[in-house]
Amino acid sequence: MATWASFVSQVKALPVVKQRAVSAVVGAVVADSAAQSLFWIYDQEKIVKLLEGGKNPEFYEPCSNPFFLLPTGSQTMYGDFTLAGLRATLGAKGFNGDALKEEVYKTFGPNSPYEKVVQTGKYPIDGPYRSGAVKNFLKNYVAGDPTGANGNNDGEGLCATIPLIAAMYDSQDVKGLCENSVKVIQDNSVNVESSQAACLILQTIIKQGDDPKDSVEVIKSVIPQFKAGTEAALRSVVSMHGSVSEVSKKFGLGCGMPQTLQAALYGLKGETNYTKAVREAIIAGGNSAFRGQLVGACMAAKYGIDGIPEDWVNKLINKDELLEKALKLAEIMK
């Protein structure tokens, strides 16, 4: 069992770019777990009320997720996709579609905690929740069909791809890597392009750290690689003003791309602190675990492993696996 201090020490012994890449994966998974207990609350005023008296939103107790109840320190399905992607990337030493399929199937399929929960349609259920993307994936996998769901436009595929981009941060074809990975989960053009934008932004931050200081400049730098809808979506993030909660509500608190990506990217603007940025993503409500993951990955890569609070990490049920595999990821980086 690794202590946080020993893990941080080992990360800091790595070359600085590898430090950022490892930090991105840890930052994403920790943020997902931090958001879990207030995830999918779409009434922002309700969250404000729950936090009265100076309570912090991360790892909130009792779990108040209106759709599924889990112990503190659990992952949402988004976090479990990231862990599945981490296992697949390590096993294949890069991208392998079949390896990713196998890990996703093991994570969400028969004999998994997700299989043991009876989803009656009455909420909240007692246990982990299979999203539409999960259900479509499992159905297609068993039928021997392509597993990517055409109609699903949520962020599971991107979450599964975060560890791959961290491992392959030096790739000249991040857009291609991202497309191949996301399509294992969601074969949807809007989803793929939105995910590609996120992956390019994450790659840039891993390679450049806190230069430039304001992440809006990083967002601007990837706009020329896109046309039409994705370009317009990114320009809207750059031009928008207001609090994270206000702007997230304007973009939409739901799970669909590109709106949920826009809200996540807005949460990076001007931020210099992992804790504050993740808290704001949670307080904004709705699809907060997804937004928290992307914010957490980028902020941890930008400002280092030290920025992730030790007490947050120690709450994770999957802490030992996460820290062990995140370090091993550095071994396959060039």
pTM of the model: 0.97
Structure confidence at residue 157 as a pLDDT band (50, 70, 90): very high
CATH class as words, domain 14-331: mainly alpha
Q: Mind listing the pLDDT tens digit for each residue in 22-39?
A: 999 999 999 999 999 999
What pLDDT score was predicted for residue 146? 87
What pLDDT score was predicted for residue 1? 63
Closest residue by Cα to residue 293 from 330, 253, 261: 261
Could you give the CA distance from residue 183 to residue 201 in angstroms, rounded to a whole number? 19
Structure confidence at residue 66 as a pLDDT band (50, 70, 90): very high
- Per the prediction, the chain carries an average pLDDT of 95
> Would you kindly state where each structural domain of the chain is located, as residue ranges?
14-331
Q: Mind listing the pLDDT tens digit for each residue in 312-332?
A: 999 999 999 999 999 999 999
Average pLDDT over residues 247-256: 97
What pLDDT score was predicted for residue 119? 67
Closest residue by Cα to residue 321 from 105, 90, 147, 165: 90
Cβ pair 326, 28 in contact under 8 A: no
